[in-house]
A = this chain, B = another copy of it.
Amino acid sequence: MTAPKPSLELLRALTDENVLRVLMAHDRLTRAEIATRTGISKPTISESVQRLERARLVVDTGERTTGRGRVGSYYALAPHLGTALVASITPQGVVAEAVDALGRTRGQVRTALHADAGQEAAAEALGAAAARLGGESAGPLRLAVVSAADPVDRATGRLVHLPDAPFLVGELDPPAVLAGAVTGPVLVDNDVNWAARAEYEHGCVQGVDDFVYLHLGEGLGCAVVGDGVVRRGHGGLVGEVAHLYTAGPDGQAMAFTEVFAALDLRRNSSTAVDVPKLLDILDTSDTRAERVRLALARAIGGVLSAALAFADPRTVVLGGPWGSHPRLIAAIEEHLARSPRSVPLSAAALTLPELTGARARAVEELASLIVRAAHPTTQW
């Protein structure tokens, strides 16, 4: 809409950005290689590299080309540019990594948590992991991307407790916990959204710009990808399907989460789904189990009718501890075949997908942080 103001500084910034981006894709390159890869002339690249070296964003690695011809110098991103923290918080524990702008993992810390550890323990584990990774890596932790197994408030990054939804990780404020260890922004989103991003980039829906990812585990979650981007809505609560009205076992309209109460599939004194019991039923072949499967398929079919109405996905991905069970998928497909509108289903393909998705975002964000650092004033 609004075109940037033309200026020579803009050109310079563009050249530098091209150089930095290509150095993020290939960790070490000579000036000549940068020139051919970017399509910019060698002299211009030389000037840019000099500029970036003076700004300490790029360094001569000391390595030299071997082979025919004159010896070239390899350049790379400066090592002290820092890393991004990637963290996943689940009831099982905290997994944290540091990644650099090239997407290389520089260290990983795993901390197991007790089943009823509470948010203090989670916060402590996250803080400790950040401190350790920050100490280990060459530069500072410049930003953090956090995945949490609960709804996340889009504005503040804090976890939200919705009525009738299990609160797995609990009242946690990742930006506050990480404020000391991380110098820049802290981006928080729930695990299902990150998992959807991972499936989009590396999993079973590559190239599908519009899809819905339904996560079925202890909690019931969903992610909506529209036009290639994870949609979060006003408060970040897109995909919170617990209160969605759907069809219950006897055809009554009821909230999705109530279906599990009606089927006696909840964990004691909790709104969490009893996953072992449910998996057990999915593996059983008697008529009672069959009835439960039908009821589940019908309830999930109702959820999918809502997904079709509000997201119009090309595909629906089913993930989570019991979501990708073949017998469940078969039952849902059968149900959909009798519905007026249908949609292809596929099973989630990745393990630890939320970390993959969060990592991708972290790398992207770190890259743009570095590029903007080269020309703080120029904007477009």
Chain A interfacial positions (CB closer than 8 Å to B): 1-8, 10-12, 14-15, 17-18, 21, 38-40, 44, 162-164, 208-211, 222, 224, 226-227, 229, 231-241, 243-248, 251-255, 301-302, 305-314, 339-341, 364, 371
Contact = CB atoms under 8 A, between A and B. Distances in A.
Given A3-B371, A162-B340, 8 more contacts: A3-B14, A5-B40, A6-B10, A243-B308, A244-B305, A251-B252, A253-B254, A310-B310
Contacts of A5: 14, 18, 38-40
Contacts of A305: 243-245, 255
A65 to B, nearest CB: 25
A240 B18 contact: no
A302 B306 CA distance: 10
B245 A253 contact: yes
Contact of A234 (B14, B38, B222, B314): B314
Given A5-B18, A5-B40, A243-B341, A236 B312 contact: yes
A243 B364 CA distance: 39
Contacts of A309: 222, 238-241, 243-244, 306, 310
Nearest to A301: B245
B163 A340 contact: yes
Nearest to A17: B3
13 contacts: A3-B18, A6-B11, A163-B340, A222-B310, A226-B238, A234-B314, A241-B309, A243-B308, A243-B340, A243-B341, A245-B245, A252-B252, A306-B309
Nearest to A302: B245
A165 B263 CA distance: 33
Contact of A340 (B1, B12, B164): B164
Given A6-B40, A226-B226, A313 B233 contact: yes
B243 A253 contact: no
Contacts of A371: 3
